[in-house]
Structure 1
């Protein structure tokens, strides 16, 4: 059993949380898959431009929240569907479960298969556990700090690519930003001979970076529940990720940039532009 000791009486049992995260991600994903197959009956609301919520999101988040509350009542919980009501002091909690019950809701509602359940766990402000479950392919991506990343029992390794011409780059964009914040990057990427894919699920594409299926991923603004699990996966697969949690990224979101170690500085140049690296 891996335990993180605390100066307070509370100790953190990572093994138990890792086990629960994997189990509840699959349980929640199986419920989501049932609803996906009967999605015509779902009630859907519009939260904003390109932003939807359905009874499925709330139902699936409830499955995870209840499991966490029963097993670890002192742990904090940040879910996409309940984020509006969280306290600004959430970042100071010892353990925070960061959950997107259905990442890729638009794909889910439109009968596309690019959606998943994403669960990340922060301990003392550090992402230590990441689980992404894709019910459609029955793939469970999972990682814990210092233990490596896996899909099922198979170890994952980020791509060794050195240039954007050597594979597909995942990208994401939402209308929280103006298109002008994204288009220069795309121009530089295509100008260097690269090609991109956007499947509608940031969590799933981060898992694909960890698996070496994508050479990297970039999105100019993403929410924590969409990427916290992926951050652990990519780092444990030997890749590099920017400091997403800087400047209250947990509650405000931030840019995300992830790639294999060799490609990461190349990707940074494309994102920031020549001569703009800090």
Structure 2
């Protein structure tokens, strides 16, 4: 894929602003015990000033450089696009880990052009790792090419599973039971975006979350595809404001993973 000047300019901005966003997030993380934390839907769905300040920083930089671009962020909602480009941001994915002093969090940023995800970035500030993908150009970790693990299976690889209040607990428990029954093993890190990135670089075999939002997973799903993996359909109607099922894995695991997952659950709340 040949990058258009418009896309190239936005990729340059993304790479420039992500370190600044990471520095801001880390400054709050260094004094996390003093932060005010608010519950949104329940005690497991929380937000801090760090989330809001990081999102406002990225929004401001994008608006200054490309005032016609749209923006969809977890904390401040959607602004429509006039240029065809839409920036999709989770300022801190893994806020529950963040506010408890755990390092399993990241910044997830995707760029959508005319409804297609064309670039994705997942930055893990604690590990100093930047995962990046551009459609048709492959995926990288700190600028070195990465690939999913094409040799593993469900019995030998790790499957990361996400959960939330939006999904019946019985569904998640049944998936874990079937996975264990098939000889597999599950992990849960607290950051779905970071787990998707870890599938892309071969650390994890697969990731599944029954209901994710676009800001959590668009970047990671593109990373997996560009790293040679398979992802399930997500928001195919183009409505990035609603949650949907997110699946990503090494390609040889597709059928076995789908058998373990079963039918998608109904969305309880939006």
- Aligned-partner Cα distance in 2 for 1:29–1:94: 27
Deviations 1:110-130 (A, max 9, x none): 000000000001111111100
Matched, 1:67 2:57: no
Instruction: Evaluate the alpha carbon distance shift between residue 249 and residue 262 of structure 1 in structure 2; reply closer, same or farther with a 3 A threshold.
Output: farther
Partner residue, 1:2: 3
- Aligned-partner Cα distance in 2 for 1:230–1:241: 10
- Total equivalences in the alignment: 261
- Aligned-partner Cα distance in 2 for 1:110–1:254: 27
What SS does structure 1 have at the residue aligned with 2:136? coil
Instruction: Evaluate the alpha carbon distance shift between residue 92 and residue 206 of structure 1 in structure 2; reply closer, same or farther with a 3 A threshold.
Output: farther
Q: Do the aligned residues in 1 keep the contact of 2:197 with 2:220 (CA within 8 Å)?
A: yes
Matched, 1:140 2:140: no
Partner residue, 2:45: 51
Matched, 1:25 2:18: yes
Q: Do the aligned residues in 2 keep the contact of 1:206 with 1:231 (CA within 8 Å)?
A: yes
Residue of 55, 72, 78 corresponding to 1:78: 72
Q: Do the aligned residues in 2 keep the contact of 1:103 with 1:115 (CA within 8 Å)?
A: yes
Residue of 158, 166, 169 corresponding to 1:176: 166
Q: Do the aligned residues in 2 keep the contact of 1:29 with 1:117 (CA within 8 Å)?
A: yes
Residue of 38, 56, 61 corresponding to 2:31: 38
Matched, 1:186 2:176: yes
Residue of 92, 95, 98 corresponding to 2:85: 95
1:23 CA displacement: 2.1
- Aligned-partner Cα distance in 2 for 1:249–1:200: 25
Residue correspondence of structure 1 range 187-226 to structure 2 within 5 A: 187-226=177-216
Instruction: Evaluate the alpha carbon distance shift between residue 92 and residue 238 of structure 1 in structure 2; reply closer, same or farther with a 3 A threshold.
Output: farther
Deviations 1:202-256 (A, max 9, x none): 1100000100000010000011100011011111100011111224551111010
Q: Do the aligned residues in 1 keep the contact of 2:70 with 2:81 (CA within 8 Å)?
A: no
What SS does structure 2 have at the residue aligned with 1:97? strand
Q: Give 5+ residue unaligned stretches, structure 1.
A: 4-11, 274-278
Partner residue, 2:268: none
- Aligned-partner Cα distance in 2 for 1:254–1:161: 29
Q: Do the aligned residues in 1 keep the contact of 2:32 with 2:99 (CA within 8 Å)?
A: yes
Q: Do the aligned residues in 2 keep the contact of 1:77 with 1:97 (CA within 8 Å)?
A: yes
Residue correspondence of structure 1 range 83-162 to structure 2 within 5 A: 83=77, 86=78, 90=80, 94-162=84-152
Q: Do the aligned residues in 1 keep the contact of 2:68 with 2:83 (CA within 8 Å)?
A: no
Q: Do the aligned residues in 2 keep the contact of 1:22 with 1:142 (CA within 8 Å)?
A: no
Partner residue, 2:266: none
Residue of 208, 226, 230 corresponding to 2:220: 230
Deviations 1:135-155 (A, max 9, x none): 000101101001110011211
Instruction: Evaluate the alpha carbon distance shift between residue 136 and residue 91 of structure 1 in structure 2; reply closer, same or farther with a 3 A threshold.
Output: same
1:163 CA displacement: 2.2
What SS does structure 2 have at the residue aligned with 1:48? coil
